Amino acid sequence: QVRLEESGGGPVQAGGSLRLACTASDSMNSMGWYRQAPGKQREWIASWTRGDSKSYSDSVKGRFTILRTANRYTVFLQMDSLKPEDTGVYYCSTNGVWGQGTQVTVSS
């Protein structure tokens, strides 16, 4: 089955930007981005499908953007105007497979 790896997380100031990458061992037909804040359940934040349909949760709409590569081995999540409440572990998922997550910490 496909293997996934997230990268690009790290510390960032409020108002700053990060670009996360989800890299797969095979091209993806669809995928989702999720995050989990401390003490909270995992939250869906964005999805992409091969037909380039994109969806975003209300909490990130207008600030986060999914960007795909042509071969679909890697999909990016461009995160702008970051807020402290965006802090958490970010995961990507495709076909029921999850990566290990990458930590995003937004300080005020």
Residue 67, both tokens: 């960007």
For position 93, what pLDDT does the model report? 97
For position 51, what pLDDT does the model report? 84
pLDDT of 39-52, one tens digit each? 999 999 999 998 88
Pairing of the two strands 88-94 and 74-79:
unpaired
pLDDT of 15-74, one tens digit each? 999 999 999 999 999 999 999 999 999 999 999 998 889 999 999 999 999 999 889 899
